[in-house]
Amino acid sequence: MSDILLLAGVALCLLSVLAAVFALARTEPPRGAAIALVLGIICLIGGAWLDDRPFGIEAIRESGARLVNGDIGLGTDPVTAPAPTESAAEPASDPAPTAQPGQ
């Protein structure tokens, strides 16, 4: 979770810079860029707080490498059912009585 927060924070901060440049080029106030920057900083702080590693460029690099290598996922792993118990794995010895034709 901390890796995803760190990477999301970096992505939001980078997008906020681009949004600010485009907004200022159109001579508009960069409100969306400011919101993206604040959310990016919040994600970075949250990721750094949850992570055991010291916060820095190396932690962000390691998080990116772990995501690319498949060590962390974005929640697409299927949920597995618990293993069946022995009593549930055995078939029933006496099947339920069925109606006989002509009775």
Which is more confident, 12 or 66? 12
The Cα 81–Cα 89 span in angstroms is 14
Tell me the pTM.
0.65
The Cα 80–Cα 6 span in angstroms is 28
Burial of 12 (0-12, 13-18, 19+ CB in 10 A): buried
Question: Residue 62: which residues within 8 A CB-CB, separation 6 or more?
Answer: 53
Mean pLDDT of all residues belonging to the chain? 81
pLDDT number for residue 17: 96
Token pair of 49 as six digits:
């707080």
Asked if pLDDT for residue 98 goes beyond 80, the answer is no
pLDDT tens-digit map of 23-72: 999 999 999 999 999 999 999 999 989 888 888 888 889 888 888 888 77
CA distances from 97 to 37, 43, 94, 100 (A): 70, 62, 9, 9
Which is more confident, 88 or 97? 97
Tell me what percent of the residues of the chain surpass a pLDDT of 90.
41
